[in-house]
């Protein structure tokens, strides 16, 4: 029985090792000024070529923030931001601002370059990356916007 278990684990390892890198879409991060924030991967469909594909359905961004107890990333209002995909270039990237229930506004279309909202407080942002035939993925970013720092040393 012991030999059978070893053969099974070796065989399973052999099967899964080549597919590890391509089983799911690349991870995403967002650069906002001097801050780089990780995102939470949501729903995706990913075609891994010869190894097949995978699909994952996840909560919509507001529910993901609540269920995963995401901590908001502090960022300045109006900061320039850009999405970076780890090894997943050539994607069309849309950036959406959510309220508690639905998409409120499109912040960017196609490029992944956007401006952080100017309204202070917590904001939920969805990043949607589309690689065409390779698949798509949704990512959630939770930010806490504070007023832009101004020079207060006048007079």
Cα separation of 53 and 128, whole Å? 19
Asked whether 143 and 75 are in contact (CB, 8 A), the reply is: yes
Residue with the bigger pLDDT between 80 and 11: it is 80
- Which pTM value belongs to this model? 0.80
SS3 118: coil
Give how many domains the chain has, as a whole number. Answer: 1
Q: Is 134 within a domain?
A: yes
Q: What is the CATH number of the domain that holds 84?
A: 2.60.40.10
What average pLDDT does this structure show over 51-76? 94
Domain assignment present for residue 54? The answer is yes
102-147 tens-digit pLDDT: 999 999 999 999 999 999 999 999 999 999 999 999 999 999 999 8
CA distance 134 to 114: 24
**Domain annotation covers residue 114:** yes
What number is the average pLDDT over the span 40-63?
91
pLDDT in tens, 3-36: 433 333 333 333 323 333 468 899 999 999 999 9
Per the structure, the complete domain to which residue 66 belongs is given by 23-146
Residue 10 lies in a domain: no
DSSP 27: P
């Amino acid at each position: 029985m012991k030999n059978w278990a070893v053969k099974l684990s070796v065989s399973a390892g052999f099967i899964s090792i080549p597919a590890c890198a391509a089983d799911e879409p690349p991870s995403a991060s967002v650069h906002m000024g001097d801050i780089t924030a990780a995102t939470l991967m949501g729903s995706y469909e990913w075609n891994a070529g010869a190894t097949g594909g995978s699909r994952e359905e996840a909560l919509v961004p507001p529910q993901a923030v609540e269920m995963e107890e995401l901590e908001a990333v502090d960022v300045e209002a109006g900061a320039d931001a850009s999405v970076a995909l780890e090894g997943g270039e050539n994607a069309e990237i849309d950036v959406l601002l959510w309220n508690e229930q639905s998409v409120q506004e499109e912040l960017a279309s196609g490029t992944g370059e956007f401006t952080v909202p100017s309204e202070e407080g917590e904001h939920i942002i969805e990043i949607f990356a589309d690689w065409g035939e390779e698949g798509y993925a949704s990512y959630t970013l939770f930010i806490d916007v504070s007023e832009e720092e101004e020079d207060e040393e006048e007079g």
